[in-house]
Amino acid sequence: MNSLGNVSISDAIDRYILSINLARSVNTARTYKNGMSLFLLTLTEHKLDLENLLVAELGEEPVSWFAARLKDYSPATERLYLTALAGFYDYIAGENLAEVNLPRIRLLIHQRARRPGIRLPQFPQNDLDTLLQKISDLHTCIAVDEEERLRNLRDRAFLITLADTGLRVHEACGMRRGDLDRNEGRAIVIGKGNQQAVVRFSRRAQAALDDYLRARAALDGASGRPLSSLPLFARHDPGAGKKVKPITTATGRNIVNQRVAEFLGNDLVGRITPHSFRHYFVTRVLQTSGNLKLAQELARHKNIAVTQRYAHLSDNELDKGYWNAIEE
């Protein structure tokens, strides 16, 4: 059992990060680790000896130091790092490593955290329309070999799927063939926060997937694995060999960058990202339905305020009314 006051601040933070690694996503763990590394740096800047400083001696003042240190960061990053610090104080209290006045800590963090500004989603919708039109004909392109033909069919299915489902890139990359119910046109995915969710697939996306999976049939059949367990989107490069390996999120981003450069030019590389297709999806739902609640459910936003950020993009009547009133 841990003895109160016998653990150094460095050891306590190491244990805390280990607990985060075990319980949270890779991205969350990385963010918390970065935040706590900066917290340690802050303590060093205030002349504290990290190896000899016991966690029981930490006190409340470092919260104020850390909050002041974070003013050079964006409000969003500031809040993430302060959340990580609040979690650390919760951890040392829960593990009986120190006596902590948790209500006081939370109050200090709440008082010092800036509220992040709301950024309206921006993306080149017309360029995405053009990209999807061009990508729809990718299966007719002459390929130099079988690997290129499979990549063309995969990329076509991948980008149309992103545009028509609102899937996040890691969700699409992690899907297996068995996740998609073709009769229902729906799939079960593990979404943000490891939550299971139902996602609808358009007929266009299903047709593109059918073309791709038919072309991949020999490769899948030779894998010796049940078809349902195979990745929906697989690698088709020399490094994959004859194995059916899933694409990574890095591959997903590379697919977007490559096809944007190919069909729209290098100027739009980086402006159109995998997440742009999710913006595109939510905006189309709002434009055609005008139903904010529907868009929220289909996009799987926990907070309708997130979906509300897209509403300005769907109200073309505002633009028309403005120009009619001001310019005419």
User: Is-catalytic flag, 69?
Assistant: no
User: Is-catalytic flag, 310?
Assistant: yes
Measured CA to CA, the distance from residue 224 to residue 230 in angstroms comes to: 10
Catalytic residue, from 177, 216, 235, 278: name it. Answer: 278
Which residues face 192 on adjacent strands? none
User: Is-catalytic flag, 192?
Assistant: yes
User: Is-catalytic flag, 278?
Assistant: yes
Catalytic residue, from 81, 89, 212, 310: name it. Answer: 310
User: Is-catalytic flag, 32?
Assistant: no
Catalytic residue, from 204, 253, 275, 309: name it. Answer: 275
The DSSP output letter for 2 is P
Measured CA to CA, the distance from residue 169 to residue 120 in angstroms comes to: 21
| DSSP-H helix ranges across the chain | 9-23, 26-45, 61-69, 75-94, 102-112, 125-135, 146-165, 169-173, 203-215, 217-221, 249-264, 274-289, 292-299, 304-308, 311-314, 316-326
Catalytic residue, from 192, 302, 312, 320: name it. Answer: 192
Measured CA to CA, the distance from residue 50 to residue 71 in angstroms comes to: 23
Measured CA to CA, the distance from residue 108 to residue 60 in angstroms comes to: 8
Return the SS3 of 180.
strand
Of 213, 117, 200, 118, the residue nearest 166 (C-alpha):
200
- Residue at token pair 């990329």: 155
User: Is-catalytic flag, 243?
Assistant: no
Catalytic residue, from 168, 170, 216, 279: name it. Answer: 168
The residues that are catalytic are 168, 192, 275, 278, 301, 310
